[in-house]
Amino acid sequence: MIDKQLRLRGFLYNLLLKKSSEEKYIKFMHTIKKQTENRKGQKVDGLHFTEQWIARKDGTKLRICIYKPLDPVQSAPGVLWLHGGGYSQGIPELFSATYKRLIQARNCVVIAPDYRLSIEAPYPAALDDCYDTLLWMKDHAEELGIRDDQLIAGGESAGAGLTAALTLLARDRGEVNIAFQMPLYPMLDDRMATESAKDNNAPIWNSNTNRWAWKLYLGELFGREVPVYAAAARATDYSKLPPAITFVGDIEPFKDETVEYVKNLEQAGVPVKFELFKGGYHGFDIINPNAELSKKATAFFIESFNYAVDHYFAEQNQSVKD
């Protein structure tokens, strides 16, 4: 079932987690966290990079990474990008290839928060950090060179789950507008009741790792009634959400919940650009970016991003003129 060009790397990654357990998974997440510390602050060739620390409500500081074109921009699209990693691992710097593609496509500004991981603090810590960053983007739009009415939210995997939750939260609070959302193969449903999420043994991410990650993220809420802002698949009202761009592989655990999310948005009248890629396991575009399937997925993502900026921002600009 796996695309031929994706098989080897998927097999090698599975060897790393072979016969893993919940205890080993948590230990592995802490190991990865230590290993990624030395990449914080890492610059990207061809992009202007800076860091900022913004205050949380409890007085601690949240680190955010800011990526811009080398030439100054004004009134550019502002992209809030939320990194993946099962809510339990990762830093913004690991996903710089995505930022570079977005900036090369549209001369935008990418803001990526180093949100709190579940191994440090469970829900709602990560979502609070993402929402605080979104508000900070709106309040500092002029100095960032972006428009405060053209903010975009996106991410992959857990970052995509945070993106979906963030759009719900922003809609319900009414403090900031998200122009459109880009939740790529999102981690949305803690219940794991869909066919693709049950007994899934695909490479990179399977039913076991999914369950352990949700348990870490939800903490004491795991197995109980979970807020829609923690697991966006539990939402029942999809009205007035921003247009969406997403894709997913057809053999990964999140396939069915992504398809259902798209269906719910469309039924609520929300425009969606969506593709399902046959033979793709979780994060295939990142695990092997040179595979033909990955190139197709990346091209779909960037083409959809360009379309969304042209289409939805043009509509905004026209409504302002009217």
Q: What is the pLDDT of residues 164-203, one digit of tens each?
A: 999 999 999 999 999 999 999 999 999 999 999 999 999 9
Q: Looking at the predicted structure, is the pLDDT value of residue 316 above 70?
A: no
How far apart are alpha carbons 117 and 129 in whole angstroms?
10
Residue 58 tokens, joined? 């409890």
Q: Are 123 and 230 within 8 A, CB to CB?
A: yes
Of 112, 118, 121, the closest CA to residue 86 belongs to 118
Q: Looking at the predicted structure, is the pLDDT value of residue 19 above 50?
A: yes
pLDDT in tens, 21-66: 889 889 989 998 999 999 999 999 999 999 999 999 999 999 999 9
Give the domain 4-37+45-321 fold. Rossmann fold (3.40.50)
Q: Looking at the predicted structure, is the pLDDT value of residue 315 above 80?
A: no
Query: Mean pLDDT across the stretch 133-155?
Result: 95
What SS3 string covers the chain?
Answer: CCCHHHHHHHHHHHHHCCCCCHHHHHHHHHHHHHHHHHHCCCCCCCEEEEEEEEECCCCCEEEEEEEEECCCCCCEEEEEEECCCCCCCCCHHHHHHHHHHHHHHHCCEEEEECCCCCCCCCCCHHHHHHHHHHHHHHHCHHHHCEEEEEEEEEEECHHHHHHHHHHHHHHHHCCCCEEEEEEECCCCCCCCCCCCCCCCCCCCCCHHHHHHHHHHHHHHHCCCCCCCCCCHHHCCCCCCCCCEEEEEECCCCCHHHHHHHHHHHHHCCCCEEEEEECCCCCCHHHHCCCCHHHHHHHHHHHHHHHHHHHHHHHHHHHHHHC
Query: Among residues of the chain, what percentage have pLDDT more than 90?
Result: 88
Of 76, 99, 91, the closest CA to residue 151 belongs to 76
Of 205, 189, 194, 181, the closest CA to residue 130 belongs to 181
Q: Looking at the predicted structure, is the pLDDT value of residue 225 above 50?
A: yes
The answer, as to whether pTM is greater than 0.85, is yes
Query: Mean pLDDT across the stretch 140-165?
Result: 96
Q: Are 256 and 193 within 8 A, CB to CB?
A: no
Query: Mean pLDDT across the stretch 274-301?
Result: 97
Query: Mean pLDDT across the stretch 292-320?
Result: 85
- Crossing angle of the two packed helices 96-106 and 292-321, in degrees rounded to 10: 50
Query: Among residues of the chain, what percentage have pLDDT more than 70?
Result: 96
How far apart are alpha carbons 211 and 189 in whole angstroms?
10
Of 184, 187, 115, the closest CA to residue 156 belongs to 184
Query: Mean pLDDT across the stretch 255-272?
Result: 98
pLDDT value at position 126? Answer: 98
How far apart are alpha carbons 17 and 209 in whole angstroms?
9
pLDDT in tens, 59-89: 999 999 999 999 989 999 999 999 999 999 9
pLDDT value at position 321? Answer: 43
Per-residue pLDDT band for 319 (boundaries 50, 70, 90) equals very low
pLDDT value at position 165? Answer: 98
How far apart are alpha carbons 251 and 203 in whole angstroms?
9
Per-residue pLDDT band for 14 (boundaries 50, 70, 90) equals confident
β 61-69/47-55 pair status: antiparallel
pLDDT value at position 320? Answer: 40
pLDDT in tens, 237-252: 999 999 999 999 999 9
Place of tokens 């440090």: 120
